[in-house]
């Protein structure tokens, strides 16, 4: 199996240089000296940091070491400090003397050389012996003190930590400061903080959380092997083998995404030898079918269809890149500007204005006109080194982001990097930015190159294949040969790779904007790129370390776009989530007092549908950019209880059940009513792609899909085309009509997934024309937010029960909401 | 091109820590001195002649005052105006003598005395 290039790449640029101060990390050669004790040989700087003596003096005193050597790039070069006369190397005895008449100085030891009278007669002035260590610090003109900036950016080590680590070095000379803080195996991890002393402390907090999440992800995915899988074989346009099969999933379990790597196995039979191959998922159909493009083309048992096994091939790449970014953030001073460094860590920094000539108009060619709050956001962020844009549902986040990127690119500060955690969001943004006329390159993970993309013409791999110049004909020839034969001779393969890499670089370098996922920004193909300006969309759905990946490529100006009132990043490991890994950088910056620019006009929802979300999640600030008339379902005959109010809550008393897998829930009566509502919509002239069914439980999702196709009153195909999915997978998207099945209906248990206000916000804000909710008010009303939602529906005479063709207002009693304790 | 103003809390060194550290440092100094006194009873041989090449052309550097190096690298804690004097540092690499140039602050006691001597010599 051919390894992906990525695997040999080491993340975390600017790794700790050997001569970095072992206490604080300062690595300026003029500021450090090496302890010359053979068993030690550690480097230390001459800054005091938070202690009374400088770091080197601290070390020498604590460790009782007495000899040092200067750095080879220091003014004196690699020099062991010693007495010019007797060679004594004890720095506590050394000092400089100068010649009487010349500007010549030497080091001389205090005992005995300084007291040799004969020296006086030899043109040396002994009256002004200048000790090497003065005021608990090396002479500053010999070993410089790091600048204030360097010191602020270094690790803020305390005297206690110094004592501890020196103690540790006595038994383990290679121990690092991190070893001091490592929690035991069963300890709860250290929780995230609002502010951090320095990037090392930041790394100390986040690295274990990412490790926990990675371990959890690995265990979970690798345990997902399925046997007795039935395969349908096909061949792709690129002549590669594609295996289609069904890979069922449950709540909180493996969610396959395009680009995932799976291994397909066949144990062999009388006529077939045992066989296996890995491949990448290139597509997932609505029917839960997975399309796997195989790496191997030879020896595939295509005449067999049954008895295959599928394993997940776990990759650590995304986690490696997060860890690498945190390391780079700490050790590489050029990774982000000083302002951004201190700001991200929550240090108080004097405000900084980015001096740029502002454009006369803030819209961009190829984009719709901007509204007032969008113009204000664009104008403001162009002048700030760090800014947040909050885009509530349907407020034109993508257009605003594209306009910002357009103006940044026109400022001539080099290429702009545009990221988002999800591929879908990156594609959308790339498309909009490209519409402004900028040259855009969409960088995809190698594993996703076969995945169909709406912006294929912008992708790097497409552009490499279609770069139509004669110099590239050699690459084209080799590419053709590779496509036809499946592989190349090793010398041709080498040539092919080199040519491809050069072409990739050339195309990427000539772009105005590079678009990729946050994790994609850690791609080795971007390792030599620097981006001063970075925009991250959907940043509230990324973990902090994920957000850091695109930032450590030299950022000086960053715009985070998102909405912390919608769903945050998905963290699978409960321990890591409890410790705060699910809090995005955007959210922490809000808590630190950065005020987001909020886009205020929504263009998605019928004004009746936006009212409750605006009041409950956005302090009533959401204005409607669409009128009731523009959202009237003309010609659609649907039994809305209140005409002109395309919404209702359909009271359901059916019981919830545990799904067959035992890990999820379903609700049969709700499912049956979902089918009736869908059928009514379809009969009234709504087409399947306009409808979305949302339910928080995988058990119910599968049950509804199954139920509709079996019991639907209309053609089966119509129901198959209707998207039924979780709240989470509808985030960032919209449908004309939304049907929400709440499922949970029990006396004593909670309402599970529905408890998160952000999830409710997302569910309520997907529909453009109308929404129908199904659930049990008795159960839901216990939760304060649901209670006020139900009250809102009731007051608007939209809380109903009875058959769909004869809906009546429901008199069901609500429960008193429980007090909120946070 | 970057100018960051970080409002940093003033670091207060724990006086107890400072006192303990001082004590240890003094002890180490004293111990170093004492050990040398015990080790070396006799006078060490003198090997302190200034090689001739140091004098050649040394007038060029003689007490030359340079402006403080620009920007980030200068750290003048005492705020001594930043004027520096170029001196030659004489070191031994094995048995070879070498000189290296270095800048030291003008008000350093080392150069003060040289300058006084020079002035005195000039008067004579
Ligand atoms: Zn040492
Ligand atoms: Zn240090
Ligand atoms: Zn000596």
Q: What does the pLDDT look like over A143-185, one tens digit per residue?
A: 999 998 899 899 999 888 898 899 889 888 888 887 777 666 5
pLDDT of residue B78: 39
Environment class of A594 (CB within 10 Å of its CB; exposed 0-12, middle 13-18, buried 19+): middle
Q: pLDDT-derived band of residue B62, with 50, 70 and 90 as boundaries? A: very low
Q: pLDDT-derived band of residue A123, with 50, 70 and 90 as boundaries? A: confident
Which pLDDT tens digit goes with each residue over A710-756?
Answer: 999 999 999 999 999 888 888 888 999 999 999 887 766 667 777 88
> What percentage of residues in chain A have a pLDDT greater than 90?
60
> Tokens for A194?
């609002």
- Examine residue A112 and say whether the peptide bond preceding it is cis (omega within 30 degrees of 0): yes
> What percentage of residues in chain A have a pLDDT greater than 70?
94
Q: Smallest CA–CA separation between B52 and chain A, in Å?
A: 12
Q: Is the dihedral of CA A78, A81, A85, A87 positive or negative?
A: negative
User: How far is the C-alpha of A83 from the C-alpha of A110, rounded, in Å?
Assistant: 9
Q: pLDDT-derived band of residue A509, with 50, 70 and 90 as boundaries? A: very high
pLDDT of residue A658: 81
> Tokens for A718?
């119509």
Residue B11 in contact with partner chain A when CB distance is under 8 A: yes
The three-state secondary structure class of A658 is strand
Task: Specify the DSSP element, H or E, that contains A178.
Answer: helix A177-181
Q: Give me the mean pLDDT over the A509-537 stretch.
A: 96
Pairing of strands A124-131, A94-99: antiparallel
pLDDT of residue A749: 65
Instruction: Name every chain B residue with its beta carbon within 8 A of the beta carbon of A67.
Output: none
Which residues does A466 contact at the CB level (< 8 Å), separation at least 6? none
User: How far is the C-alpha of A772 from the C-alpha of A492, rounded, in Å?
Assistant: 61
**Closest by CA position to A694, among listed A791, A759, A782:** A759
**Closest by CA position to A753, among listed A14, A272, A252:** A252
Judged against a pLDDT cut of 50, whether residue A2 lies above it is answered with no
pLDDT of residue B4: 75
Q: Is the dihedral of CA A410, A411, A414, A417 positive or negative?
A: negative
Judged against a pLDDT cut of 60, whether residue A821 lies above it is answered with no
**Closest by CA position to A400, among listed A354, A355, A425, A367:** A367
User: How far is the C-alpha of A459 from the C-alpha of A449, rounded, in Å?
Assistant: 9
pLDDT of residue A538: 95
Ligand nearest to the CA of A108: 3
Locus of tokens 């006020």: A788
Mean pLDDT across chain A: 89
Cα A582 to Cα A534, A574, A575, A576, A764, distances in angstroms:
22, 10, 11, 8, 22
User: How far is the C-alpha of A462 from the C-alpha of B84, rounded, in Å?
Assistant: 60
CB contact under 8 A, B91 and A79: yes
CB contact under 8 A, A98 and B6: no
Pick the residue with more confidence: A90 or A85? A90
pLDDT of residue B118: 62
Q: Find the CB nearest A84 among B40, B54, B91.
A: B91
CB contact under 8 A, A85 and B118: no
> Tokens for A531?
């981006």
Nearest CA in chain B to A31: B73
Instruction: Name every chain B residue with its beta carbon within 8 A of the beta carbon of A101.
Output: 114, 117-118, 121
Q: pLDDT-derived band of residue A551, with 50, 70 and 90 as boundaries? A: very high
CA dihedral A73, A76, A78, A83 (to 10 degrees): -160
CB contact under 8 A, A122 and B121: no
Among A73-82, A407-416, A633-642, B107-116, the range scoring the smallest mean pLDDT is B107-116
Q: What angle do CA A683, A684, A687 make, to 5 degrees?
A: 75
Neighbour-count burial for B15-27, b at 16+ CB within 10 Å, e otherwise: eebeeebeeebee
pLDDT of residue A645: 93
User: How far is the C-alpha of A623 from the C-alpha of A607, rounded, in Å?
Assistant: 9
User: How far is the C-alpha of A584 from the C-alpha of A324, rounded, in Å?
Assistant: 18
Contact A311, A287 (CB under 8 A): no
The three-state secondary structure class of A298 is coil
pLDDT of residue B74: 39
CB contact under 8 A, A64 and B28: yes
Q: Smallest CA–CA separation between B61 and chain A, in Å?
A: 8
CA A453 remoteness from chain centre: 21
Q: pLDDT-derived band of residue A822, with 50, 70 and 90 as boundaries? A: very low
User: How far is the C-alpha of A615 from the C-alpha of A822, rounded, in Å?
Assistant: 20
Name residues 45-104 of chain B within 8 A of A (Cβ). 46-50, 54-55, 58, 61-63, 72-73, 75, 77, 84-92, 99-104
State the DSSP code for A459.
B
**Closest by CA position to A296, among listed A270, A264, A327:** A264
The three-state secondary structure class of A342 is helix
Which pLDDT tens digit goes with each residue over A571-627?
Answer: 988 899 999 999 999 999 999 999 999 999 999 999 999 999 999 999 999 999 999
Ligand nearest to the CA of A90: 3
CA dihedral A503, A505, A506, A511 (to 10 degrees): 130
pLDDT of residue A478: 85
Ligand nearest to the CA of A34: 1
Contact A23, A157 (CB under 8 A): yes
B63 CB neighbour count, 10 Å cutoff: 15
User: How far is the C-alpha of A735 from the C-alpha of A767, rounded, in Å?
Assistant: 5
pTM strictly above 0.90: no
* A84 C-alpha to ligand 3 centroid (Å): 7
pLDDT of residue B70: 39
A240 φ/ψ sector (left φ>0, alpha ψ -120 to 50, else beta):
beta
Phi, psi of A93 (to 5 degrees): -110, -10
Ligand nearest to the CA of A47: 2
Judged against a pLDDT cut of 80, whether residue B115 lies above it is answered with no
Q: How many residues does chain A have?
A: 822
Judged against a pLDDT cut of 90, whether residue A547 lies above it is answered with yes
Mean pLDDT across chain B: 68
User: How far is the C-alpha of A707 from the C-alpha of A693, rounded, in Å?
Assistant: 13
State the DSSP code for A585.
H
State the DSSP code for A317.
H
Contact A677, A670 (CB under 8 A): no
Contact A808, A802 (CB under 8 A): yes
Task: Specify the DSSP element, H or E, that contains A348.
Answer: strand A348-349
**Closest by CA position to A297, among listed A509, A484, A146:** A484
Judged against a pLDDT cut of 80, whether residue A564 lies above it is answered with yes
**Closest by CA position to A253, among listed A703, A664, A696, A546:** A664
ipTM of the complex: 0.80
Q: Give me the mean pLDDT over the A701-710 stretch.
A: 91
State the DSSP code for B76.
-
Q: pLDDT-derived band of residue A5, with 50, 70 and 90 as boundaries? A: low
Contact A106, A84 (CB under 8 A): yes
Contact A615, A596 (CB under 8 A): no
Q: Looking at A223-371, list the stretches that DSSP marks H as alpha helix, in order from N- to C-terminal side.
A: 317-331, 338-344
Q: Smallest CA–CA separation between B70 and chain A, in Å?
A: 12
User: How far is the C-alpha of A32 from the C-alpha of A55, rounded, in Å?
Assistant: 9
Among A7-16, A198-207, A678-687, the range scoring the smallest mean pLDDT is A7-16
Q: Find the CB nearest A105 among B24, B58, B110.
A: B110
pLDDT of residue A747: 64
3-state secondary structure string, A441-494? EECCCHHHCCCCCCCHHHEHHHHHHHCCCHHHHHHHHHHHHHHHHCCCCHHHHH
Contact A576, A212 (CB under 8 A): yes
3-state secondary structure string, A207-251? HHHHHHHHHHHHHHHHCCCEEEECCEEEECCCCCEEEEEECCCCC
Contact A419, A515 (CB under 8 A): yes
User: How far is the C-alpha of A31 from the C-alpha of A19, rounded, in Å?
Assistant: 10
> Tokens for A728?
């989470």
Task: Specify the DSSP element, H or E, that contains B36.
Answer: helix B15-39
> Tokens for A413?
């500060």
CB contact under 8 A, A104 and B50: yes
């Amino acid at each position: 199996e051919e390894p992906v290039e990525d695997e040999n790449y080491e993340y975390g640029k600017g790794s700790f240089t050997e001569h970095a101060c072992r206490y604080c990390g300062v690595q300026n050669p003029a500021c450090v000296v090496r302890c010359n004790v053979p068993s030690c040989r550690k480097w230390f700087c001459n800054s005091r940091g938070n202690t009374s003596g400088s770091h080197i003096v601290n070390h020498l005193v604590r460790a009782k070491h007495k000899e040092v050597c200067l750095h080879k790039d220091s003014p004196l070069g690699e020099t062991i400090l010693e007495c010019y006369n007797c060679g004594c190397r004890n720095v506590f005895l050394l000092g400089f003397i100068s010649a009487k008449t010349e500007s010549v100085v030497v080091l001389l030891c205090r005992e005995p050389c300084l007291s040799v009278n004969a020296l006086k007669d030899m043109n040396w002035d002994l009256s002004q012996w200048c000790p090497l260590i003065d005021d608990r610090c090396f002479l500053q003109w010999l070993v410089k003190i790091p600048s204030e900036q360097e010191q602020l950016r270094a690790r803020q080590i305390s005297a206690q930590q110094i004592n501890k680590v020196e103690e540790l070095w006595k038994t383990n000379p290679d121990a690092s400061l991190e070893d001091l803080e490592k929690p035991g195996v069963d300890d709860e991890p250290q929780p995230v903080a609002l502010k951090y002393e320095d990037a090392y402390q930041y790394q100390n907090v986040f690295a274990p959380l990412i490790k926990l999440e990675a371990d959890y992800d690995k265990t979970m995915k690798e345990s997902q092997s399925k046997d007795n899988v039935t395969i349908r074989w096909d061949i792709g346009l690129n002549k590669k083998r594609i295996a289609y099969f069904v890979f069922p999933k449950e709540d909180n379990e493996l969610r396959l995404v395009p680009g995932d790597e799976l291994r397909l196995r066949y144990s062999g039979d009388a006529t077939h030898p045992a066989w296996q191959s890995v491949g990448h998922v290139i597509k997932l159909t609505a029917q839960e079918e997975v399309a796997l493009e195989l790496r191997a083309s030879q020896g595939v048992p295509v005449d067999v269809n049954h008895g295959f096994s599928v394993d997940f091939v776990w990759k650590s790449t995304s986690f490696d890149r997060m860890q690498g970014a945190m390391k780079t953030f700490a050790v590489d001073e050029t990774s982000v500007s000083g302002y951004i460094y201190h700001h991200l860590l929550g240090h108080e920094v004097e405000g900084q204005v980015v001096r740029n000539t502002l454009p006369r108009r803030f819209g961009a060619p190829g984009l719709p006109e901007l509204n007032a709050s969008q113009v204000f956001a664009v104008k403001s962020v162009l002048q700030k080194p760090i800014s947040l844009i909050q885009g509530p549902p349907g407020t034109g986040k993508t257009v605003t982001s594209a306009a910002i990127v357009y103006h940044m690119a026109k400022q001539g500060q080099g290429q702009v990097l545009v990221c988002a955690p999800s591929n879908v969001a990156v594609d959308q943004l790339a498309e909009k930015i490209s519409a402004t006329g900028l040259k855009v390159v969409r960088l995809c993970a190698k594993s996703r190159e076969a995945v169909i993309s709406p912006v294929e013409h912008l992708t790097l791999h497409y552009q490499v294949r279609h770069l139509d110049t004669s110099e590239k004909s050699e690459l084209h020839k080799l590419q053709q040969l590779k496509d036809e034969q499946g592989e190349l001779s090793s010398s041709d393969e080498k040539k092919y790779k080199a040519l491809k890499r050069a072409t990739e670089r050339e195309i990427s370098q000539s772009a105005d904007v590079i678009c990729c996922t946050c994790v994609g920004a850690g791609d080795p193909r971007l390792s030599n790129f620097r981006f001063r300006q970075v925009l991250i969309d959907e940043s509230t759905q990324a973990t902090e370390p994920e957000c850091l990946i695109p930032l450590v490529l030299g950022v000086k100006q960053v715009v985070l776009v998102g909405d912390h009132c919608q769903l945050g990043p998905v963290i699978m490991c409960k321990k890591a989530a409890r410790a705060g890994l699910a809090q995005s950088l955007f959210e922490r910056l809000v808590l630190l007092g950065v005020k987001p620019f909020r886009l205020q006009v929504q263009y998605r929802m019928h004004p009746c549908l936006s009212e409750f979300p605006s009041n409950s999640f956005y302090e009533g600030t959401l204005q409607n950019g669409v009128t009731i008339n523009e959202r009237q379902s003309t010609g659609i005959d649907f039994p809305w209880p209140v005409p002109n109010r395309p919404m209702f809550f359909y009271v359901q008393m059916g019981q919830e059940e545990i799904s067959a897998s035992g890990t999820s829930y379903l609700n049969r009566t709700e499912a049956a009513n979902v089918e009736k509502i869908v059928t009514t919509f379809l009969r009234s002239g709504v087409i399947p792609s306009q409808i979305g069914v949302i339910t928080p439980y995988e058990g119910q999702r599968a049950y509804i899909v199954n139920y509709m196709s079996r019991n639907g009153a209309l053609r089966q195909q119509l129901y198959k085309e209707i998207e039924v999915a979780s709240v989470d997978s509808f985030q960032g998207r919209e449908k004309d009509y939304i049907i929400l099945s709440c499922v949970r209906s029990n006396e004593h248990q909670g309402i599970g997934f529905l408890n998160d206000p952000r999830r409710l916000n997302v569910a309520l804000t997907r529909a453009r024309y109308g929404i129908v909710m199904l659930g049990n008010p008795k159960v839901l009303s216990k939760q304060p937010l649901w209670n006020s939602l139900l009250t809102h529906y009731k007051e608007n005479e939209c809380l109903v029960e009875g058959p769909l063709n004869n809906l009546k207002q429901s008199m069901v009693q609500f429960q008193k909401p429980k007090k909120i304790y946070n | 091109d970057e100018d960051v103003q970080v409002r940093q809390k003033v670091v207060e060194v724990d006086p107890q820590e400072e006192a303990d550290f001082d004590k240890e440092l003094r002890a180490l100094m004293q111990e170093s001195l004492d050990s040398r006194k015990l080790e070396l009873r006799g006078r060490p041989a003198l090997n302190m002649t200034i090689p001739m090449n140091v004098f050649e052309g040394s007038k060029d550097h003689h007490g030359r005052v340079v402006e403080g190096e620009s920007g980030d690298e200068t750290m003048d804690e005492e705020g001594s105006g930043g004027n520096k004097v170029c001196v030659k540092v004489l070191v031994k690499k094995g048995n070879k003598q070498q000189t290296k140039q270095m800048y030291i602050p003008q008000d350093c006691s080392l150069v003060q005395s040289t300058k006084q001597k020079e002035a005195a010599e000039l008067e004579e």
